[in-house]
Amino acid sequence: MYRFPEYCACCDTKQPEDTVYFEICGTCGWQHDIVCEENPNETGGANKISLNEAIRNYKRTGRAKLT
């Protein structure tokens, strides 16, 4: 059985179990994507940017994606 991650891969915020709407983090906007999370330099998928880029964006602006 699939289980949504307990913490966001981008901002490390604990994710409430009852707030899974397309698995998008309410803090930073990162959409959970297991492929990008296992390969953090890969682009594409649900977020269109790599996880590493999203983390850099989050540290600078508080959001994973800038657009």
User: What's the pLDDT at 46?
Assistant: 86
Q: Helices in 1-67 by DSSP H: which ranges?
A: 34-38, 51-61
For 11-18, the CB contacts below 8 A with 24+ separation are: 11/55, 11/58, 11/64
**Number of domains into which the chain is organized:** 1
**Arithmetic mean of pLDDT, 40-65:** 94
How high does pLDDT run on average in the chain?
Answer: 86
Q: How far apart, in whole angstroms, are the C-alpha atoms of residue 54 and residue 56?
A: 5
Cβ-based neighbours of 45, under 8 Å, separated by 6 or more: 33, 35, 36
Q: Is the pLDDT of residue 37 over 60?
A: yes
Q: How far apart, in whole angstroms, are the C-alpha atoms of residue 5 and residue 13?
A: 10
Considering the entire predicted model, what is its pTM?
Answer: 0.83
Which domain, by its residues, includes 46? 1-67
